[in-house]
């Protein structure tokens, strides 16, 4: 389940880094102010700590399954990016919902 591979490594990097800024994407777009990306530092830190392990887990699972189609290196990298973007997109959509309410 929690196997360590390149997909997991890429997933944790994408999930943690994206989670740090994901909650501020919607306010930054709607208010046209790049400073809104970091306007909620506590939520950003929470989503960094949550998005990292989720990206690690999902990227570590998807990466090896794509190795047959894309090759070992590309499959793991692409799987890690997909796995890391799942929590980032989820948090960004939640942020969009909260700002539009």
58 close to 83: Cβ distance less than 8 angstroms: yes
- Residue 98 to residue 93: CA distance in whole angstroms: 9
Give the pTM.
0.89
pLDDT tens per residue across span 16-69? 999 999 999 999 999 999 999 999 999 999 999 999 999 999 999 999 999 999
| Placement of tokens 């950003």 in the chain | 44
Confidence at residue 67, expressed as pLDDT on a 0 to 100 scale = 92
| Placement of tokens 């501020």 in the chain | 24
């Amino acid at each position: 389940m929690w196997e360590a591979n390149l997909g997991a490594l890429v997933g944790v990097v994408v999930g943690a880094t994206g989670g740090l800024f994901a909650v501020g994407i919607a306010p930054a777009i709607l208010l046209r102010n790049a400073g809104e990306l970091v306007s909620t530092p506590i939520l950003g830190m929470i989503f960094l700590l949550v998005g990292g392990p989720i990206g690690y887990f999902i990227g570590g699972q998807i990466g090896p399954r794509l190795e047959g189609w894309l090759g070992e290196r590309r499959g793991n990298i692409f799987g890690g990016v997909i796995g890391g973007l799942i929590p980032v997109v989820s948090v960004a959509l939640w942020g969009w919902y909260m700002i539009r309410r």
